Amino acid sequence: MQGAGQQRALVKLLGGAALGLLLAVPTMGVLLTAAWAGSGCGDGMPMMMNKEEMRGMMGGGRDSSNDDAVRGSAVETVVIEDFAFSPGNLHVPMGTSVTWINRDAALHSATDSDGSWDSGVLSDGERASLVFDTRGTVDYFCTLHPNMKARLVVE
Ligand SMILES: [Cu+2]
């Protein structure tokens, strides 16, 4: 995502409880982690691979960035399901809060292709929200399944 001087806050939520806060400074390309409140690493992280994860690693995952464009409003949700983002080609007005929620048993992330922001790994039912306050096209993907790609256009 291009743009100077923007600052965006990403909040990862689990069951409505804030787990932490990431501040992204895209101009510097640096991710700062602030207040990863009590989440720790690997809580509830499954060590065994399930069928879905196997599928993902075998090249599963869909690029939905060229799906029919969906017009969104000020608050939008992108569902991660069956190894795809839906809607995968979402157009929203500037200032929109977008929430990604994982509905797969497999772990997924929503991660800016240029590294400006990253939801972190989301397990089933987990969500992450980000406010987009700069116009532009955001291509993003899942770090665990790089074939999973999607697009967000901030107008
Ligand atoms: Cu994934």
Separation between Cα atoms, residue 6 and residue 105, nearest integer Å: 34
Q: Tell me how far the alpha carbon of residue 84 lies from the centroid of ligand 1, in angstroms.
A: 8
The residue segments making up the domain with residue 67 are: 8-36+58-154
H helices present in 8-118, as ranges: 51-57
The pLDDT value recorded for residue 95 is 96
Separation between Cα atoms, residue 97 and residue 92, nearest integer Å: 9
Q: Tell me how far the alpha carbon of residue 129 lies from the centroid of ligand 1, in angstroms.
A: 17
Ligand 1 (single-atom ion) residues, CB below 5 Å = 108, 142, 144-145, 148
Is 120 domain-assigned?
Answer: yes
- How confident is the model over 47-68, as pLDDT tens digits? 566 666 565 555 579 999 999 9
Least Cα distance to 65 among 35, 23, 110, 21 occurs for: 110
The pLDDT value recorded for residue 62 is 95
Q: Tell me how far the alpha carbon of residue 101 lies from the centroid of ligand 1, in angstroms.
A: 12
The pLDDT value recorded for residue 139 is 98
Which residues pair with residue 108 across a beta bridge?
A: 122
Q: Tell me how far the alpha carbon of residue 65 lies from the centroid of ligand 1, in angstroms.
A: 15
Q: Tell me how far the alpha carbon of residue 48 lies from the centroid of ligand 1, in angstroms.
A: 16
Is 88 domain-assigned?
Answer: yes
- How confident is the model over 121-144, as pLDDT tens digits? 999 999 999 999 999 999 999 999
Q: Tell me how far the alpha carbon of residue 141 lies from the centroid of ligand 1, in angstroms.
A: 8
- Give me the sign of the Cα torsion angle 132, 112, 119, 4: negative
Q: Tell me how far the alpha carbon of residue 56 lies from the centroid of ligand 1, in angstroms.
A: 7
Q: How many domains does the chain have?
A: 1
**Is the previous residue joined to 46 through a cis bond, with omega within 30 degrees of 0?**
no
Q: Tell me how far the alpha carbon of residue 88 lies from the centroid of ligand 1, in angstroms.
A: 13
Is 95 domain-assigned?
Answer: yes
According to DSSP, the β-strands at 149-154 and 89-92 are: parallel
Query: Rg of the Cα trace of the chain?
Result: 15
Is 2 domain-assigned?
Answer: no
DSSP state of 108: B
Q: What is the CATH number for 88? A: 2.60.40.420
The pLDDT value recorded for residue 105 is 97
Residues in the chain, pLDDT under 50: 2-7, 9, 13-44
Q: Tell me how far the alpha carbon of residue 90 lies from the centroid of ligand 1, in angstroms.
A: 18
Kindly report the backbone phi and psi dihedral angles of residue 50, in degrees, each rounded to the nearest multiple of 5, phi listed first: -95, 180
